Each structure stands twice: as C-alpha cells, then as structure tokens.
C-alpha cells in the first residue's frame, strides 16, 4: 500500500479480519469486564491521536485503558486504509522496552490480536507532557526520565550491547512497517511539495512556497528519508514527541509505541527535541519568557540525561564513546529540523502553536520554519547548545 491516501476519492475499504469488530463506548464495556473484576460500569472515549480509538473504562474498583487499532488512519478516515498489525508491534515493543528500563512503559494488562486491542494500565493521574507544556505547568523529572529511556533503548537494542544472533531475531519482528511508510510520507516527503495531505495557515503560504523551491532543503530531506529507511541501528520508539510522554508528580511514562522499528539512533531524540522547541517558540511568542526558559532547561536536561546514561551503559573496552555521542547529536539535529517543519506545514500539527492567537501563531510558525531549515542545511553541529540555538535563536531568521 502506498503511504499516500487514494487521490481519486475511492478506497479499497478497511481491512476487516475474522473476529474483528470496532469497539464503541457501549460494546467496550463487555470487552473490558474481565479486566475489571467482571463488571464494567461506564466508558468514555479519550482518543487524542491520529491513529487509534481509545477508551477509559471504569469498574467498581478501578479503571483500564482500552486501545484499538482501526483499519485506517483515523485522522484521514477510511480513504486511507492502514494495517491493524500496529497493535501487535506496540504490544511487543512495550515488552522489550520495559525489560530495558522497567516502570517507564504502561503496564500491558492484555493483548487481543484478533481485535487489535491493548488493555493498558490507566494512567489517570497523568497528563501528556504536551498538555503540561501548553498550560505552563512544571514537569520536573520528565526530561531526565525520557533521556534515560532513550539511552536504554538506543544502546540496549543495538550491536553495541545486544548479541548479534539475538538482535537478528529481534529485527525480524520489527521490519520497516506500514506505519514507517506513513512517517516517510508525512515527515520526509509531503511537506516539501504540493501534497494533498499538507495543511497550513494562509498567512505563511509565501514561506511554504519558498520552502518548496529550496533545493538544498529538499535535498537534505531526501537524504534523511534514505537514512530513515536504511539505517536499522536500534529498536526506536519511532514517534517520541511530547504527546507520547505522560507526566505526574514523581512518575513519568512513555506511551504509544506502534511506530517502533529498527531505525537511526538520532531519530527519537530529534523528534522529542523538536517538539520541545515548538513549545518554547509558542511561549516566547506569547511573551511567556520565564516559562520559555523553563522549556530550555527541559531540553538541556533531556540531552544531558541521554548522554550520561549512554556513558553508564557504554562498554569501556570501546574507546569511541564521544564519537558515538557526536554522531547521535548530529543526526538528532537534522531530524529535529524536519519535525519542526512538518509540524507547521504537514498534516499533523503541534497543538502548542495551533492554539495561539493569530499574531503569536504567525510569529511562532515563522521562527519554527526558519529554525528547522537552519538545523537541516546548516554546517555540522558540535554541541547541544548549538543545536538548540539554531532551533529557537533569533538570528535563524536571517
């Protein structure tokens, strides 16, 4: 299947397998009852992403999350069919990543392959990191935990620590999937041309046209797309943005692993740092300078934590740790730039900026596009401070 939705308005129809039925707020009660001491009393849909339908189901003594993969891309509808195998990918990735860093994944209570359903621990006392950032709330420790998680999966599923035979076996379960094709289209391809999936404010249309004519930028995007498709370095999360991290005082979790696959070391760090940069630009545009500095601190703490935990896991017999970290940093910078651009002109935007009033939104969008370009086509980066300044610094508008 092409990662691009049919252009003629037709559809092959959703993939309906034996034993599969789409859950509703009513039918999910019966499904979830065995995981709530046999009685489910109520359910509410809390879907907030582009792919799946998610319910919070309550019983007399607690609640669970029921997440079902639909046979199409939810944000686009049935005109964009999509395999439900992503549910199996997520269940397997949760199990593997939980072994590498316990107590950061949500507990997987049950997986139903035929129904493409995961029953998960309800993190009811948490909010997404994105929600906390938009509200200007503190999320102490979230950056450090997420940095430790990134280090654990980058090294723990790579040739640096994982025996070759075990790694080959693991790779067979996480090949370049249909969701990777979605990423390839929506992040690496569509934003750099007149794709039907793109959406952006009319006020920045001249900037978007300039972006489409930018040969250096389009060349950089094509090079990064090739790296994304061919560099199977580690079993990465594949969609590690601020909406994929749940935060609460003293407890931080990583969710939504259906995009997991063997990809480049720097992809996850780049995506997360890009979303923090977009939050920072949004607060700066609103005049929230103090909280913008707080977001600066979160980004620096994430990279410092990733660096420190990578060092702790590193095999001391390998004397090239600093070169490795520089490689990850350089990759992260360029993937960061791509994510910043696509969140402004592509299909899936960053709510941090979309909710701003017109003037502030235009300022943040303009700076995000400039920062993204500076990261993608600028000279090699040598430090985290360099990356962050390119992403959010005033002079990247020149």
Element (H, E) at 154: helix 142-156
Closest listed residue to residue 240, CA positions, set 147, 106, 373 = 147
Angle at 71 between CA 66 and CA 76, to 5 degrees: 100
Q: Tokens 């480049």 appear where?
A: 264
Does the structural domain 27-121 have CATH classification 3.30.200.20? Answer: yes
Angle at 136 between CA 134 and CA 142, to 5 degrees: 85
Under DSSP, the state recorded for 337 is: H
Q: What token pair was written down for 283?
A: 């607060």
Q: What is the pLDDT of residue 1?
A: 28
Partner residues linked to 234 by β-bridges: 263
In the chain, which residues have pLDDT < 70?
1-18, 49-50, 75-77, 394-398
Q: What is the pLDDT of residue 20?
A: 93
Q: What is the pLDDT of residue 48?
A: 76
Q: What is the pLDDT of residue 394?
A: 58
Angle, helices 142-156/267-285, rounded to nearest 10 degrees:
160
Q: What whole-number distance in Å separates Cα of residue 275 and Cα of residue 207? A: 20
Q: What is the pLDDT of residue 61?
A: 85
The sheet carrying 40-45 orders its strands as: 40-45, 52-59, 62-69, 117-121, 108-112
Does the structural domain 127-397 have CATH classification 3.30.1330.10? Answer: no
Q: What is the pLDDT of residue 47?
A: 86
Name the CA dihedral angle for 150, 153, 159, 164, rounded to a multiple of 10 degrees.
-170
Annotated domain spans of the chain: 27-121, 127-397
List all residues 6 or more positions away from 110 whose beta carbon is below 8 Å from its beta carbon: 35, 117, 118, 119
């Amino acid at each position: 299947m092409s990662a691009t939705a049919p252009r003629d308005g037709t559809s092959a129809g959703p993939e309906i397998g034996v034993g599969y039925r789409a859950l509703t707020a009513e039918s999910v009660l019966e499904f979830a009852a065995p995981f709530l001491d046999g009685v489910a009393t109520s359910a509410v849909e809390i879907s907030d992403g582009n792919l799946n339908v998610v319910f919070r189901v309550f019983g007399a003594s607690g609640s669970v999350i029921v997440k079902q993969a639909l046979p199409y891309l939810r944000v686009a509808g049935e005109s964009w069919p999509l395999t439900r195998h992503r549910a199996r990918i997520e269940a397997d990735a949760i199990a593997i990543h939980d072994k590498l860093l316990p107590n950061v994944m949500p507990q997987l209570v049950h997986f139903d392959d035929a129904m493409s359903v995961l029953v998960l621990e309800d993190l009811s006392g948490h909010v997404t990191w994105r929600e906390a950032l938009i509200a200007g709330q503190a999320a102490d420790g979230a950056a450090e935990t997420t940095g430790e998680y990134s280090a654990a999966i980058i090294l723990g599923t790579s040739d640096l620590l994982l025996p070759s035979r075990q790694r080959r076996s693991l790779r067979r379960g996480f090949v370049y999937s249909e969701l990777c094709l979605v990423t390839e289209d929506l992040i690496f391809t569509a934003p750099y041309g007149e794709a039907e999936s793109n959406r952006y404010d009319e006020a920045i249309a001249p900037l978007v046209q300039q972006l489409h004519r930018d040969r250096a930028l389009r060349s950089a995007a094509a090079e990064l797309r090739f790296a994304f498709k061919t560099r199977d370095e580690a079993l990465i999360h594949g969609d590690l943005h601020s909406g994929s991290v749940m935060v609460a005082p003293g407890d931080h979790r990583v969710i939504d692993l259906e995009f997991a696959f063997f990809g480049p070391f720097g992809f996850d760090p780049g995506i997360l740092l890009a979303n923090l940069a977009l939050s920072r630009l949004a607060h700066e545009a609103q005049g929230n300078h103090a909280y913008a500095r707080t977001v600066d601190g979160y980004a620096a703490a994430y990279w410092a934590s990733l660096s420190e935990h990578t060092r702790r896991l590193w095999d001391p017999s390998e004397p090239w740790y600093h070169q490795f970290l520089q490689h990850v940093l350089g990759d992260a910078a360029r993937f960061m730039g791509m994510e910043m651009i696509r969140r402004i002109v592509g299909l899936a935007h960053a709510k941090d900026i979309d909710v701003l009033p017109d003037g502030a939104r235009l300022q943040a969008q303009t700076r995000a596009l400039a920062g993204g370009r500076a990261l993608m086509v600028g000279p090699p980066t040598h430090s985290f401070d360099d990356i962050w300044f390119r992403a959010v610094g005033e002079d990247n508008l020149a």
